[in-house]
Structure 1
């Protein structure tokens, strides 16, 4: 995720980065500009076309298209923001679980604290990678009997790590290291881990309906590539920058929406999951080792 100062107008106006919509759409904008110039030459200099009121239909359709794009970008942002709230919940649940374990475990239980420190960190890391390209279990911290091979057993690595957390909590209860009341209090944080991950998977695996995305792209294409036919009569060769700008304005909204509707990836506008994971691991380590 890119960090920036939203009040620095001039820097933002002239800033470009790898996933910037202008950079992504530049080839299409150049092609459309050449296409519009060709239409302008054919209609104005070759055929001398004189029909009028050719922009009215595009004005009406443009309003409808704008409403559709507003819905599109709002839907994508809602998914992005929900993902951010879920990972904020991961931060809070990790801290709460670590604080409760620190308070409930006896002072001499250093090995148990170290194991929970590693298991909590492993779950957060596994959840992050699970939402991306899959978890490489060799990158998880091995602790006690929980090795890379053990983590890989279940297929769904975050669930396997969470299983280890539940197993260790139950062992503490069976050994009477914690009471039944402690178990109930701790269970709320563990359940929230599973609930948050399930909600993230719902966002990841449920994109915008295919028919809606397909229809919107077709409408943008038809709208933009029929614009020059009418606009070159009123604007002559000035229609080239006008049509190109309209294409950029409409298509850029769709490109941005496509990027942020899956907020768990590695693109510039995705959530900073690596930084959040590091924050959680640092907080849990400070609490359980303090």
Structure 2
């Protein structure tokens, strides 16, 4: 995730980060510019259309549908940001629940072996959840510090959660914690799977294809018809104007596409690796 100072306007204006939509859209912007030049040349030099041509009235359509396209893009970006923010809230809950579980176990457990088990396994849940959501495939993995293996062909977070529940039950049956204490830590243990399921719902339920496809087609048709009407008022200056309008509209769609899946490796995705590392640091401090 990009770290930045929101008050540094100069940096925002004059610096182009690798994740900026400008770089991604340069080929299409050049194409749109050449297309706009061709339309302007045909209308001004070849066809020599007069100012009273009916083609000039096409701008009326742009005025009417411009409001519609703005509403669609606002809904699109808001929906994508809601998914990004919901993912951040779930990972924030994972941080808090990992700390709470570690704090309670720190008070309950006396044997160093039991404390070490949870010291290693709790942070590993966050780490494997991050890999699971990012679709990072690895071979059969060993959990550092413990004689335990995970099979990547199976649901890895579920395997960790099962080990945590099994260990908690073993502590209860061996008399190391009471039934009331088991009930107290059960909420945090259960929350891990709840958070995993919520994150999987975000990842596996993208914006419907028909909606996303319609917006792209709408933007394309809207931009491609702009030069025909505005050439009469702007002349060849229609080229930078149309390119800029395309850049703004297409950038909103690209931004929405990037943040609607917040668990990848894009520059604006959630810093899940860093969050998992913080969980490891805090749990080890507590236990």
- TM-score past 0.5 threshold: yes
Match of 1:217 in 2: 216
Match of 1:284 in 2: 283
Q: 1:138 to 1:154 in 2, by over 3 A?
A: closer
Q: 1:163 to 1:137 in 2, by over 3 A?
A: farther
Match of 2:36 in 1: 36
**1:150-189 to 2 correspondence within 5 Å?**
151-152=150-151, 155-189=154-188
Q: 1:258 to 1:183 in 2, by over 3 A?
A: same
Contact 1:19/1:268, CA 8 A, preserved across alignment:
yes
Q: 1:231 Cα shift?
A: 1.3
Contact 1:58/1:227, CA 8 A, preserved across alignment:
yes
Residues 76-134 of structure 1: CA deviation (Å, up to 9, x unaligned): 0000000000000010000000000000112xx11111111111111111100000123
**Pairing 1:248–2:247 present:** yes
Per the alignment, in what secondary structure is the counterpart of residue 271 of structure 1? coil
Match of 1:136 in 2: 138
Q: Structure 2 CA distance, aligned partners of 1:120 and 1:244?
A: 51
Q: Structure 1 CA distance, aligned partners of 2:228 and 2:114?
A: 73
Q: 1:267 Cα shift?
A: 0.4
Match of 2:116 in 1: 114
Q: 1:53 Cα shift?
A: 2.3
RMSD in angstroms over aligned alpha carbons?
A: 1.3
Q: Structure 2 CA distance, aligned partners of 1:32 and 1:285?
A: 55
**Pairing 1:86–2:77 present:** no
Q: 1:234 Cα shift?
A: 1.6
Q: Structure 1 CA distance, aligned partners of 2:236 and 2:90?
A: 51
Contact 2:141/2:152, CA 8 A, preserved across alignment:
no
Q: 1:140 to 1:283 in 2, by over 3 A?
A: farther
Per the alignment, in what secondary structure is the counterpart of residue 74 of structure 2? helix
The alignment of Structure 1 onto Structure 2 pairs a total of residues equal to 283
Q: 1:281 to 1:138 in 2, by over 3 A?
A: farther
Q: 1:26 Cα shift?
A: 1.0
TM-score (norm 2): 0.96
Match of 1:76 in 2: 80
TM-score (norm 1): 0.95
Q: Report which stretch shifted further, 230-239 or 261-270.
A: 230-239
Match of 2:189 in 1: 190
Q: 1:15 Cα shift?
A: 1.6
Segments of 5+ residues of structure 1 without an aligned counterpart are none
Q: Structure 2 CA distance, aligned partners of 1:43 and 1:96?
A: 70
Q: 1:141 Cα shift?
A: 2.4
Q: 1:19 Cα shift?
A: 1.8
Q: Which runs of 4+ in 1 moved over 6 A?
A: none
Please, which of 109, 113, 131 is the counterpart of residue 105 of structure 1? Answer: 109
